[in-house]
Structure 1
């Protein structure tokens, strides 16, 4: 009997995502670290952090968890302590990616809506502190996950595989943690992002109306670079948040309904609707780690220029070395 459609999609989708997502995030880190995109140091810190978290998502969640563990089920990755650690780290990387996005959104909200607080908070030092604190909190938050999975089978006294622990998930602590995990990863970030963007857009629209009135009184040229920059900021912020919410929506629904069962060690049939919905949610969720480089390239002209320069650099270097030999 052949493989189901969902399994065939998994075997194609994740390698393709890794092939494109890994270099895209790596290039993003290099480009933003160069500091030639016209961004403030504060913004650069957050954007580099988001790209770094997404790179780790590609490495751990996609490559190790969904590719290597899936195709090599009898490797050392399937030892219970190892696979339990891998599952723990997949949660850490995703949580970091999500909360770096929330932190960046809050920073932009403060920068636009709170001028007095802006000088103290919107600095490279504050951004670095936030970026360093988020992973620590995420690591601590994920500790219960280590107890949510148990050994799948014991062969020659060696523990192999991981499966959801029924005892943990049916306990009051397990049920509470599942709902807390769902809120922490999606519902709280969703709410915060919507609130921050609402405040930011409201402030920008009020400022634009006031600025338009002043310019109308002064009878100046209708072109206004500051208003254009604000418009681009709205587009960038809304694009990141809306795409993030859409890609995570399916996953949060399946997370609530299937609890912590969305792993490669799923025990049900691969044709079950619950399994298909869970895997579809995982497809879209992990696609979010590829969204930001695409958004930057689509909305930021200086980022596109730097991307071209970085891509051309190895060829220029090779041509330079060739001329030196001649």
Structure 2
């Protein structure tokens, strides 16, 4: 509990701020990104922010500091569980959608004009959100009341049938395969195809430029491709790295003969890294995007300049 409590406090201070700042900066539209890319990045940041709110704030922190509140009512607890699973899946599949969008933009020039638009991005994100919510509804029926206070069921505890009935076991396996095993495979495959296309196109373009010009010069198109691939690989690569422990826990629990209690430490580490993945995108933007850093600096300087003006008056 103490480890979880420390994790909650750190997450509240860091994760929420990072994602909120990212949303504000990206929605201003001054980072030099296309509308399509901006929509995906804002949606990813918003989904990550909802993960922090539902898991860290509503479930952990409120449960520690306010154990007897309306959030402890079993119905509310069940709804929060559905919300947590839904936004977690949404966050994962938004990363897949962004990876696929960049794959189409870089590797499929004929499809790019039709698919890589802000309208298509909005539709894709809306469909993924709806499917994630529908797929998470069964979690509402997994929990039973933990205790009854003043004739009101409170708390949530997994029912025994969840661990014994084959139907629930099948549901859990399907859930874990869809998130994050399938996204793992899709992201790795799409990144490999994208990298292959960029390398081949860069070689051809460099060869053509060398034939046309005897003096080597910088190619802006290759520079733009490098920036795109750095952003893409940073986001998807970080996702794979931070979710790999969770996948390892899933494989150890369901494929090998390992018991839950023997790999509980692996589960704890996986949960911590999974929560950490909700704040990494903001750091990636700051490292890879110069205009994002400039907007961040402007946002930091503005309140300081305002305070300085008030002090002068």
SS of residue in 2 equivalent to 1:142: helix
Instruction: Give the Å deviation of 1:182.
Output: 0.5
Residue 255 of structure 1: CA displacement?
A: 4.3
Matched, 1:54 2:54: no
Residue aligned with 2:156, SS: strand
- 1:53-94 Cα distance to aligned partner (Å, 9 max, x none): 111111111111121123332222221111111111111111
Using the alignment, how far apart are the partners of 2:153 and 2:161 within structure 1?
Answer: 18
* Aligned partner of residue 278 in structure 2, secondary structure: helix
The answer as to 2:226 corresponding to 1:237 is: no
Determine the C-alpha separation between the residues in 2 that align with 1:183 and 1:95.
11
Q: Name the residue aligned to 1:197.
A: 191
User: Post-superposition shift, 1:258?
Assistant: 5.8
Contact 1:179–1:256 (8 Å) recurs in 2: no
* Structure 1, gaps ≥5 residues long: 1-6, 260-267
Please give the secondary structure, in 2, of the residue aligned with 1:159.
Answer: strand
Q: 2:281 aligned with 1:286, yes or no?
A: no
Separation in 1 of the partners of 2:302 and 2:277? 28
Partners of 2:246 and 2:65 lie apart in 1 by: 23
**1:137 corresponds to 2:126:** no
TM-score, with length taken from structure 1: 0.88
Choose which of 288, 300, 303 in structure 1 pairs with 2:292: 303
CA distance in 2, matches of 1:316, 1:293: 24
Q: Larger deviation: 58-67 or 182-191?
A: 58-67
Following the alignment from structure 1 to structure 2, what is the Cα–Cα distance between the partners of residues 38 and 156? 57
Note the alpha carbon deviations across 1:247-283, whole angstroms, 9 max, x for none.
1122233346668xxxxxxxx9xxx544332222110
Q: For 1:127-206, what aligned pairs fall within 5 Å after superposition?
A: 127-206=121-200
- 2:78 & 2:216 partners in 1: Cα distance? 63
The Cα of 1:225 is off from its aligned counterpart by 2.4
Q: RMSD of aligned C-alpha atoms?
A: 1.9
Report matched runs for 1:76-155 at 5 Å: 76-155=70-149
Do 1:251 and 1:278's aligned partners in 2 also have CA atoms closer than 8 Å? Answer: yes
CA-CA distance at 1:104 after TM superposition: 0.6
- Matched positions, count: 307
